[in-house]
Amino acid sequence: MDGFLDLLSLPAVQRSAIGLLIAAVGLPIVGVFIIGLDIIAVRFAMMHVALLGIAVGLLAGLDPMLCGLAACALAGAGVAPLARRPTGLPGAMGLLMTFAIAAALLVLSVSGVNATGAFELLWGSILATREIDLIVLGALTVVVHVLFWRWRRQLALLLFDRELALCSGVAAGPLLLALLVVVAVAIGASIRLTGALLVDALTVLPALGARNLGRSLRSIVLWAVVLGVVGNTAGFAVALLIDQPPGPVLVLVAGTLTLLTYLIPEGARDAIDPGRRTDRGGDPVAAGQRVWQH
């Protein structure tokens, strides 16, 4: 235990713990968006798109990471029109991935930059978290929460059925565009901040577990954040206690939590639903009866 406390007193470990907590509050919501849009391959796609952006940045003498994030944002916006087709987005992620890696390798070859060096720029580690990384993670978390809580009703309709959303007055196109850009940039930045393996543990795994627990988009998001915080805290603590790399330990803990959610019976979900409340009841308003009672 003394060794655990000694580790926690190290500034790098403290920054990592803070980074994981911030990520646990924001990135699971990105995971909910990813599952809702059926784009689980987005992590692989954005990794390669970011690499293409880095390659272009190195070729043009610009900040490679900024170019990588810009490429992710452009790619997210670029695939938005494909969402009109029923299988458009999942297919687009595969296309994007193969297209981007080929283009990145070509650009790297033309620019004469070592591909491994470019990959290293992209590859982060939670133990190497810097203060600027915490600021970026914090900003991402704020953007994701604003997007969700400001437009949660519209998002619930959009993620359920695009046509229902359209016929309910939701600006489905712009909202989907915003969603894809935020997901793409969040994934691109997270890979740099936490490493590729951890991105799945911070995004998709809590969302998958939450889908087994929640009965509405709101309750799924709340459960995803709870699972994210519990998984990250427990995973990081276990990694420090057994003195092993946090990435794989965090993934295993988050994966175990997700697996456990599959054991909860359907009937028990009502009782644990954070959005649970009694039926609103009340008297029908006069306006509500006017249309069809006269």
Partner 1 sequence: MTAAITFTTVTCRYGRHTAVDAVDLDVAAGEHVALTGANGSGKTTLLRAALGLHPTAAGTVTVGGESARSGVEWARRRRDVAWVPQRLAPGRFPLLVDELLDSGGHPDAARAAARQLDVGGLGRRPLHTLSGGQLQRVFLARALGAVTAGARALFADEPTAALDFDGQEQVATLLAKLPVTVVVVSHDRAMTRACDRVAEMAAGKLRVI
State how far the Cα of 216 lies from the Cα of 205, in Å rounded to an integer. 18
Q: Give the torsion sign (CA, 62, 66, 72, 73).
A: negative
Nearer to partner 1, 22 or 159 (CB): 159
Residues at the interface with partner 1 (CB under 8 A): 32, 35-36, 38, 153, 156-157, 159-164, 166-169, 171, 173, 211, 214-217, 220, 275-277, 279-280, 284-285, 287-292, 294
State how far the Cα of 96 lies from the Cα of 82, in Å rounded to an integer. 12
Least separation in angstroms between CB 262 and partner 1: 17
Which tokens in the block code for residue 189? 């930045």
Which tokens in the block code for residue 67? 């170019």
Nearer to partner 1, 263 or 292 (CB): 292
Residues 212/145/95/86 CA torsion (nearest 10 deg): 60
Least separation in angstroms between CB 160 and partner 1: 4
118 with 54: CB under 8 angstroms? yes
Least separation in angstroms between CB 261 and partner 1: 15
- CB contact set of 278 (below 8 Å; sequence gap of 6+): none
Least separation in angstroms between CB 91 and partner 1: 16
Least separation in angstroms between CB 281 and partner 1: 8
Nearer to partner 1, 9 or 280 (CB): 280
Nearer to partner 1, 92 or 118 (CB): 92
Least separation in angstroms between CB 43 and partner 1: 18
**Alpha-helix runs per DSSP H in the chain:** 2-8, 11-37, 42-60, 64-79, 88-111, 115-122, 131-150, 152-160, 162-166, 172-194, 196-202, 204-213, 217-242, 246-261, 269-272, 286-293
Nearer to partner 1, 105 or 171 (CB): 171
Nearer to partner 1, 50 or 157 (CB): 157
22 with 228: CB under 8 angstroms? no
